[in-house]
Structure 1
Amino acid sequence: MGAAYKIFGRTVQPHVLAISTFVATAAVTSYFTMKPKSKDETKEVPHLNQQNGEKPSTANADGKDDNVMKSIEGFLNDLEKDTKQDKKVN
């Protein structure tokens, strides 16, 4: 048998100590991520583009930003054009 640690007068094997450390870390992390926000944190915080003095962006019913959707569509269209040009070259 290998080495063991004495914690509060009890002998604890290293693998039990490691597993309990992982469980405790996961429990503390999940507690703080799932804890409801306090009243101070739930006050209305301006969006990023509002902080820069820009007007707020419009969002559709799904909550997706129109500007982001247009940017993604433009990127995909450019990507398709590039792949078509690559196929023509080959």
Structure 2
Amino acid sequence: MAIKAPPLDLRAFLLRGHSIRLFRAALRSARRAPPHSRGDLEQTIRSEMDRNRYEKNQQTIRFLISDGLQRLKQLNVMLGIQGYEEA
């Protein structure tokens, strides 16, 4: 018999959705990176998400999402400057 986690409240549910969207967007951006650095970038993204996977404090989660969005924006700018435009 599996132990079920308690249901998420609305705010936690919405934050979870934001986190998942950020993760997917970051992985999509990593696919645009040069082949020699793509694997390292994807691994970094995964490890960052795993490191904060069990965070429960909603204020901390909001900060992490905001920080992640800023870092993703910087990555996209850097890839654009290097000529790896979005497809």
More relative contact order, 1 or 2 (CA 8 Å, 6+ apart)? 2
Q: Which one has a bigger Cα radius of gyration?
A: 1
Q: If each structure's strand is expressed as a fraction of its own residues, which one has the higher value?
A: 1
TM-score by length of 1: 0.31
Q: If each structure's helix is expressed as a fraction of its own residues, which one has the higher value?
A: 2
TM-score by length of 2: 0.32
